[in-house]
Homo-oligomer: A and B are copies of this chain.
């Protein structure tokens, strides 16, 4: 069965109400905007989103915010909820204040590691990050190697929407520059990973040493070309 889909709409057609969805990208770089637009069009409700910088202030106009705006999101797990001037209220913060969206704030490295753990079959891990802060609230604390650490659990999702620079038709992926960010780890952490790709090449078109996400982690590919 071919992994290559003709349109983003087909690729996201089975994302239903209540799904947990990871979305790659950082400040718009490596963000699967075309898949997000298709998901908004499809319109499932009560989504839980896992995302580095959900909401506001960066220059990229098409991001998870379009789903929040459309009232499709019930929860966001993220590390950025407020941007730029600390006094500016973001779309996400507004939705949270209105009781429309629940926000779980996670330190960025812990977010990355929880996602990786989800993909790697690790149940939970101890990290020194966040000890003695709000990020540790309600979490188990243990001294390991003389240092206080908190227990953090793996994150998994039903779908990951990611973006890659290059793919072969088997689903091997290569990212470019700082557009890599959360995409490779999110590719591992979901039941179904859908990649929007700028360039599609034949099998054999990527040197095995250069593959950044092996095809085992990718279920669907949509060639979208370069989108500004």
Shortest Cβ gap from A180 to chain B (Å): 8
Write out the residue numbers on chain B whose beta carbons fall within 8 Å of the beta carbon of A147. 123
Give the contacting residue for A117; candidates B125, B153, B175, B177; CB below 8 A.
B125
Query: For A144, what are the chain B residues with a Cβ–Cβ distance below 8 Å?
Result: 123-124, 153
Interface size class of A (residues with CB under 8 A): 20 to 34
* Most central of A153, A175, A177, A209 by chain B CB within 10 Å: A209
Q: What secondary structure prevails in chain A residues at the interface with B?
A: mixed
CA distance A176 to B208 in the complex (A): 9
With an 8 A cutoff between CB atoms, is A126 at the interface?
A: yes
Q: Give the CA-CA distance A177 to B126 in the complex, in Å.
A: 32
Chain A 119-159 interface residues, beta-carbon cutoff 8 Å to B: 120-128, 142, 144-145, 147, 149, 153-154
Copies per complex of this chain: 2
Question: Is A14 part of the binding interface, using a Cβ–Cβ cutoff of 8 Å?
Answer: no
- When distances are taken between beta carbons in the complex, the residues of chain B under 8 Å from A126 are 122-125
Q: Provided the pairs A177-B208, A209-B177 are in contact, do residues A125 and B128 lie with their beta carbons within 8 angstroms?
A: no
From B121, B128, B174, B176, A128 is in contact (CB under 8 Å) with B121
Specify which chain B residues have a CB less than 8 angstroms from the CB of A104 in the assembled complex.
none
Report the minimal beta-carbon distance from A130 to chain B, rounded to whole angstroms. 12
* Distance of A122 from chain B, by nearest CB (Å): 5
Cross-chain pairs A/B with CB under 8 angstroms, 24 sampled: A113-B120, A113-B122, A121-B127, A121-B128, A122-B125, A122-B126, A122-B127, A123-B125, A123-B126, A123-B127, A123-B128, A123-B142, A123-B145, A123-B147, A123-B149, A124-B125, A124-B149, A125-B125, A144-B153, A145-B154, A175-B209, A176-B209, A177-B208, A177-B209
